[in-house]
Every structure is written in C-alpha cells, then in structure tokens.
Amino acid sequence: MYGYAMNLGGTAKVFVPCDGGFFCTIQQIEGSLTMLDLKLIRQEPDFIKEKLATRNVDPADIDALLALDAKRRELIVKSETMKAQRNTVSDEISQLKRNKEDADDKIKEMRQVSADIKALDAELDTLKDQVHDAAAHLPNIPNDNVPVGLDEDGSVELRQWGEKPNLDFEPKAHWEIGEDLGILDFERGAKVSGSRYLYYMGLGARLERAVYNFFLDQNTEAGFTEVLPPYIVNDDSMYGTGQFPKFKEDVYQLRDEDMTLIPTAEVPLVNYYRNEVIPEEKLPVWFTALTPAFRSEAGSAGRDTRGLIRLHQFNKVEMVKFCKPENSWDELEALTKHAEMLLQKLGLAYHVITLTTSDMSFTAAMTHDLEVWFPNQNTYREISSCSNTTDFQARRAHIQYRDDKGKLQYVHALNGSGLAVGRAVAAILENYQNADGSVTVPDVLVPYMGGVTRITK
C-alpha cells in the first residue's frame, strides 16, 4: 500500500584475519550492535540525517556515531592483524625450540605484541559501548508516508466514524460522573498510593472488567493468541522494545535490581521471541494480553491530572504482531481496523489520525492513533496507538526467521492498544451519560455486566 521498503539486512563485506589464520567479517566480530542497520548508516549517511532530522535528531549525532564506528572498525583490523602475526610468530618460536635454536628475541617481541593486543582490545571494548550507546539513542526511520512535523501539529486525519452524542444537557466529565455514582474513588486512591491512583468500586469495577473481557474475547475471536505474561521484566527486555536506555525516567524500577514494572504488555509480548528464530511457517504470529501498565508520567506534569486519562497504573489490552517484512504494512492496516471495530461495537464516535514524524513513538516507523470523542471536553482523546516498528525492535531483541532460501531475516513487529481500558471506561461514562446522572451500559457489554443495563446511584 505504501510502496516503502529498505534493505536493512546484509553483512558488511570487510574481511580481516582472525585467530587461527581464518578470515571473517567485521560484522561477525562485532556481533549485533545496532538498532538501525549500521551498514545503511555508513552507506547512506545523508539519507539517515535527513530522515531522522524530522524526528528532532541532530545530524551531528550521526557524524559522531560514524566517527566512533570508523575508529572501532580500524582498531578491529589492527587487532586481528596483530593476532594473526602473533599466531604466525608463535609457530616460528615452536619450530626454533624444536630445532634447539635461540628464540629469546621473538619471545620478547611477542610479549610486547600481546601487551599491545590487550590494550587494543580494552580500547575496543570501550568503543563498542560508545557505539552501542550512540546507536541506541537513535529512533526508527519514519516511513515516507508519515507527515513531517517537529511536534504533534500536522497529524493527518484518515477517517471518522460514528455520530457524536447529541446531549440536551451540559455533559459532565467522566470523573464527576464516576464520583457521583460512587463507582470511582480518587480521594482514597490518593490517600493510599498518591495522585493518579484510584479505586474502582462496585459497578465501576464490574464495568472495567466487562470492558477488558470484551476486548480479549473479540481479539481471540479474530485470531490473536491470548497470553498472560510477566508484569516485571529485566533490562534486556526493556532495551529490546526501545524503552531503555532513553526512557528510564518514564518507568518504575525495582531498587537494586535489574527489573522494571512493565509500562505496557508490548514489552513482555515482543520479548517472548527475544534471541530466537521464529519458524517461517508460524508467521504471522498474533498475541494479545491484558496487563496492568505502570508509568511514572515524568514528562506530563500538569497534564490530565484528573480522571482516568493519565494514571500511574492502568489496565490495557495489548495486541502484538510478528510478520514477514513484505506483509507488515497490510498488517498495520488490519491491526488499526481491528481496534476500530472494538470502538464501533461499543458505539463510540472516533477518528483515526496518522501521527507526525516526531509525535510517534521512538520505535515506530508509522503510527495510526485512534481518538475517541469526549463530550465534556468537546474533543477527541487518544485510546489506541497502532504502530509498525518494521525491523527496529526485532534488531534490538534479535528476533529473526529463516526465509525460503535459508537466509536469516529480521521479522517486522507491530503493536497496538486493543484498547486502553480506563480510557474506554471514561469514554463510556461520558458518551452514555443521562440527564439524571445515570449511565447506560452499551449493549455489547450487558452480558458481561450480568444483565445490568444502567448504572445508577
């Protein structure tokens, strides 16, 4: 649909001598260092600078990375050449000793060479960390069809669905409705845990449960495999999906441990296949999971301080897909359409927008946001982000498949909310409110509510 493809794979054909006299590539020596393909950055630096500049990346950052990479590659060649020389001279020393000849000079020479190699390898380890850190802070390359913008302004509306409710009274905010009905208790949530926490009470808790069970049932009926994943993950997992190292301030970490409370089920779902090769016949793989999400919201001071929109702990039903690269854009459209279907069955008006280059997530090559209508605020609010990360997360997490020619390729990974549960509850409370303060339960949720059709005091 989008006609956008880049070959981010391949091996750098730079051969250097290795121990034992064999030759190997720098790529093999380096291992997997990159998130974006370093080969592409080396070959097309101006292209990378141009694309990432739309994501607020300073071109000087690319130059700095390339300088570190060039120095490291130079030292790799030097180190491996010296190791090959040491192997050759070691053989000569052995031959001299067998012939009862003097080998002292060569032994002395090799001691110095070994010391030089040790120093070079230590410098290489430092450079490896520096290259890795520089590359780890670069976001994904945006798709050519993503609107360019250095902030959220400029997002493109793709479509609208549904009729906004025509209320003949002044609509209340969802937190007012919930507090008046006694189903949301923000005051005691703040007392027990702090601001942006709450208790769901009675039919409020039942409504939350009804919403996420409905989402899970719809997802599994559509072919997603339901997963109940860990809620605490290690640093490698957070790195694999792109939260680390750049966004550590946005999460909650366990003190003195390499463990983090998940900010989204995307983390454990994507990392399910970390460091694995998915059999080609299994692709595409679709996962869905209900989990809590824990976020510090460090960068959102003063925003949405009331209600269910921006909490430190909330429930979310997540969808994750793994597929072959040639199918990922179709999978993104299917993922977005599925999230739309959930809103349509709930009877909630929404629109779909494509985010700008700088507004979409760090890992995304393209993101479609679903925004649902909120009558009290007279605006749309985000309830789902559906993103294609192309091979960006797969490179970080080393998730591959073997193609029909037997060659290892990176999968493409996609994710989307299906949906953010608390925001769905908030939208239901506002869109289905009645003049007497009660809330009508959407028809599709009545069976999940035990037949309750209206929430009243």
For residue 395, indicate whether it is catalytic. Answer: no
Q: Let me know: does 366 contact 332? Beta carbons within 8 Å.
A: yes
Residue 231's nearest CA partner among 251, 216, 256 is 251
The answer to whether residue 145 scores a pLDDT higher than 80 is yes
pTM score: 0.88
**Residues 220, 175 share a domain:** yes
**Residues 182, 122 share a domain:** no
Average pLDDT, the chain: 91
Calpha distance 160→145 (Å, rounded): 20
pLDDT band for position 398 (cuts 50, 70, 90): very high
Measure CA 91 to chain center. Answer: 51
Q: Which of 109, 310, 333, 454 is catalytic?
A: 310
For residue 111, indicate whether it is catalytic. Answer: no
pLDDT average, residue stretch 119-142? 95
446-455 residue pLDDT tens: 999 999 999 9
Task: Indicate which CATH number applies to the domain containing 122.
Answer: 1.10.287.40
Q: Which bin fits 437, alpha (ψ -120 to 50), beta or left (φ > 0)?
A: left
Per-residue b/e over 411-421, b at no fewer than 16 CB within 10 Å?
bbbbbbbbbbb
Please report the pLDDT score of residue 42 as a whole number. Answer: 94
**Residues 374, 241 share a domain:** yes
Sheet architecture: strand order including 259-261: 232-234, 259-261, 252-253
Dihedral sign for Cα 303, 304, 309, 310, please. Answer: positive
For residue 385, indicate whether it is catalytic. Answer: yes
Q: Which of 206, 295, 381, 395 is catalytic?
A: 295
Annotated binding-site positions: 264-266, 295-297, 318, 382-385, 415, 417
Calpha distance 285→323 (Å, rounded): 7
The answer to whether residue 421 scores a pLDDT higher than 70 is yes
Please report the pLDDT score of residue 32 as a whole number. Answer: 42
For the beta carbon of residue 259, count every other beta carbon within 10 angstroms: 15
In a domain, 142, yes or no: no
Calpha distance 211→383 (Å, rounded): 13
Annotated binding-site positions for ATP: 295-297, 382-385
Calpha distance 209→443 (Å, rounded): 15
pLDDT top residue among 3 and 156: 156
In a domain, 144, yes or no: no
In a domain, 11, yes or no: no
**Residues 432, 285 share a domain:** yes
Q: Which of 114, 382, 438, 454 is catalytic?
A: 382
Please report the pLDDT score of residue 230 as a whole number. Answer: 98
pLDDT average, residue stretch 49-71? 97
**Residues 112, 186 share a domain:** no
For residue 155, indicate whether it is catalytic. Answer: no
263-302 residue pLDDT tens: 999 999 999 999 999 999 999 999 999 999 999 986 666 6
Calpha distance 184→82 (Å, rounded): 70
Task: Indicate which CATH number applies to the domain containing 322.
Answer: 3.30.930.10
The answer to whether residue 21 scores a pLDDT higher than 50 is no
Amino acid identity, position 252 = Y
What distances in angstroms separate CA 177 from CA 200, 415, 424, one per listed residue?
A: 13, 32, 14
pLDDT band for position 212 (cuts 50, 70, 90): very high
Domain boundary among 75, 106, 137: 137
Residue 224's nearest CA partner among 163, 143, 285 is 285
72-83 residue pLDDT tens: 999 999 999 999
**Residues 132, 160 share a domain:** no
Amino acid identity, position 272 = Y
Tell me the β-bridge partners of 323. Answer: 412
Which residue stretches of 31-173 are H helix?
38-43, 45-53, 59-98, 104-136
Q: Which of 72, 396, 423, 430 is catalytic?
A: 423
Measure CA 434 to chain center. Answer: 39
What is the β-pairing status of strands 199-200 and 350-354?
unpaired
pLDDT top residue among 319 and 30: 319
Please report the pLDDT score of residue 3 as a whole number. Answer: 35
Q: Which of 385, 387, 396, 430 is catalytic?
A: 385
In this structure, of 73-82, 104-113, 128-137, the range with the lowest mean pLDDT score is: 104-113
Helix (H) or strand (E) holding 410: strand 408-410
Please report the pLDDT score of residue 34 as a whole number. Answer: 52
**Residues 166, 68 share a domain:** no
pLDDT top residue among 81 and 5: 81
Calpha distance 102→92 (Å, rounded): 11
The answer to whether residue 60 scores a pLDDT higher than 90 is yes
Tell me the β-bridge partners of 413. Answer: 322
Tell me the β-bridge partners of 367. Answer: 387
For residue 310, indicate whether it is catalytic. Answer: yes
The answer to whether residue 13 scores a pLDDT higher than 50 is no
Give the chain's domain count. Answer: 2
Annotated binding-site positions for L-serine: 264-266, 295, 318, 415, 417
Helix (H) or strand (E) holding 210: helix 203-221
**Residues 441, 318 share a domain:** yes
419 preceded by a cis bond (ω within 30 of 0) = yes
Residue 284's nearest CA partner among 316, 329, 324, 311 is 324
For the beta carbon of residue 302, count every other beta carbon within 10 angstroms: 5
Helix (H) or strand (E) holding 52: helix 45-53
Measure CA 209 to chain center. Answer: 26
In a domain, 434, yes or no: yes
The answer to whether residue 2 scores a pLDDT higher than 50 is no
In a domain, 21, yes or no: no
For the chain, percent of residues with pLDDT exceeding 70 = 91
For the chain, percent of residues with pLDDT exceeding 90 = 82
Domain boundary among 137, 167, 202: 137
- Residue 400 has phi, psi (to 5 degrees) of -135, 170
Tokens 């302004």 belong to which residue?
153
**Residues 198, 107 share a domain:** no
193-209 residue pLDDT tens: 999 999 999 999 999 99
For the chain, the 3-state helix, strand and coil shares in percent, each to the nearest 5, are 45, 20, 35
Dihedral sign for Cα 143, 148, 150, 152, please. Answer: negative
The answer to whether residue 30 scores a pLDDT higher than 50 is no
Q: By residue range, what is the domain housing residue 94?
A: 26-137
